[in-house]
Structure 1
């Protein structure tokens, strides 16, 4: 069990709820919470597709307990009541909207009610002391390597909202509808917190592109953006990767630690915590992989610059250092940890 140097706001041995526990980010939140001596109740839509989880976590953390529960319909009346019962904290990671969404108003009409339902269930449960909500780095900004910008803790991506609300073509909008959706949804969540004044502490976490160790390459595979690292090695979807602007990444373990810190560190409340470990581009990822595996012919991706954004990631680093971690993980370390799972 990892040792704490402070008295946590939630005693070790308590149970934490993690929604969407089988996902890349959530599985690392589960893993780190278990490592720090917490029991975890993880929700998934279909437990039959997640049989790898309980054996994995029981072998990694025999002194902690992981429980898998089903919440298949997020919007059903009382869907979250049983899941929240008796837990001391909530890490809300599950989300439904896809990167390809175009109609942000329909997406908000679908997703906000069950987010509100989860928040209300947590408010109604006296045992809940803290709540960590997952949004996205894109809720704060649109990556553009050609511009020097400075973000603050309370920067929101109003640019994406303006573009989506304009007469721009679908090509001009690109994935900005998703960015705008995440922006507006997070703002609605903060509005709810300010209005309802729940007794629990509340913080949002903004993960950037997630790269790093995958917990179970056989059972979980290489989900989400970790799978893109494998694309580079395999030489597939290179046009898509080349269209992604340079920005920041967050290491999988760093990201998991942010949830622990947000939930149990004294004095952390009402904050937006930026999960930005290091700058990255897919061209640079390819260069790192070629250096790590010189015997492989890693495709050369066009160098499309480097992110110039000044981001408020100092608080996140301070919080994970408070858990005994060395600080933000470099891109090189994250790419190596990811590649070791499939090479």
Structure 2
């Protein structure tokens, strides 16, 4: 198959390309600028069967050419800033309109199925009660008090995608992947927000540990789930939560200290009280984004992905350690 992967220079997109190539597919990927091509090729074999299309989530230019002749589309590209923008539309509009551009291009090119990378943010946020396990049947509450701009952007974009396919899809199939926090081996110097936290822990940039709980999934398993969803007939019209379980930032820090020895000498051991996070949020937009999550545990089930697609995620411990190892291999960790 010829598969279009949007956002090929991103963390998930690069891993999707690698897995597609390993399974014998041809890949076309989108980048925002031609200069990104070299970075993408550095993550795969230099002579790999990958072609490139330059597109932008905010522009119609190039999307028809990007999708032409493709059998499937993995729409992975979406903005994920480290802090909330002053204007929510700076994030929400590109997420929604970029998704619709990818879907229109896929439909017009006669693509059979599009797999959309959404997020658990579209499922498990904005609720009043977290004493339950979230599944694909759940949707985040757009009016929920702690629904930050990023979560709202993922919710809006996924809702728009389902509406589009239902009303204008012309028979094209849609499957959606909803990952929790993604960690795993880094392929280049551009770090995702979650991987950046591991880098900050190892480099001593976080002297204290906020009381935060994460759902974690390995980027390799997220890519695997995308490819499975692309080819499995039963995946059409379905959502799939991607999670290996839940852990906490203090437990991640403890694992790094325990297993990495001197390499984790800068990883903190003390917890930052919730009031300290709230105080820091007045000065740092990044801290402000985590205040609603303090002490909250959001449990999710991956039973559907396991049962329908035969998906099996790696243990969280393996993912965390492989993340750290990859950061060291790229020279992104400073000596203690």
Q: State TM-score, norm by structure 1.
A: 0.80
Cα pair distance change 1:80/1:209, threshold 3 Å: same
Does residue 1:336 correspond to 2:304, yes or no?
A: no
Deviation of 1:307 after TM superposition, in Å, equals 6.6
In the alignment, which of 277, 302, 311 is matched to residue 271 of structure 2? 302
Specify the alignment match of 2:184 in structure 1: 212
Specify the alignment match of 2:305 in structure 1: 316
- Single out whichever of 195-204 and 15-24 deviates more from structure 2: 195-204
CA distance in 1, matches of 2:126, 2:97: 29
**What do residues 37-59 of structure 1 show as CA deviations (whole Å, max 9, x unaligned)?**
11111111123144132243125
Matches within 5 A, 1:228-243: 228-238=197-207, 242=210
Cα pair distance change 1:109/1:247, threshold 3 Å: closer
Cα pair distance change 1:97/1:220, threshold 3 Å: closer
Does residue 1:253 correspond to 2:220, yes or no?
A: yes
What's the RMSD between the two structures over aligned residues? Answer: 2.8
SS at match of 1:91: strand
Q: In the alignment, is the contact (CA less than 8 A) between 1:209 and 1:250 conserved in 2?
A: yes
SS at match of 2:239: strand
Deviation of 1:142 after TM superposition, in Å, equals 2.5
Q: In the alignment, is the contact (CA less than 8 A) between 2:165 and 2:173 conserved in 1?
A: no
Q: In the alignment, is the contact (CA less than 8 A) between 1:129 and 1:200 conserved in 2?
A: yes
Ranges in structure 2 where 5+ consecutive residues have no aligned partner = 275-293, 329-336
Q: In the alignment, is the contact (CA less than 8 A) between 1:278 and 1:328 conserved in 2?
A: no
Specify the alignment match of 1:119 in structure 2: 103
The total of aligned residue pairs comes to: 305
Deviation of 1:105 after TM superposition, in Å, equals 5.3
CA distance in 1, matches of 2:80, 2:194: 16
SS at match of 2:44: helix
Cα pair distance change 1:47/1:197, threshold 3 Å: closer
In the alignment, which of 158, 181, 194 is matched to residue 225 of structure 1? 194
Q: State TM-score, norm by structure 2.
A: 0.81
CA distance in 1, matches of 2:226, 2:210: 31
Q: In the alignment, is the contact (CA less than 8 A) between 1:103 and 1:177 conserved in 2?
A: no
**What do residues 232-268 of structure 1 show as CA deviations (whole Å, max 9, x unaligned)?**
11121455x616x303111011011011011111221
SS at match of 2:18: helix
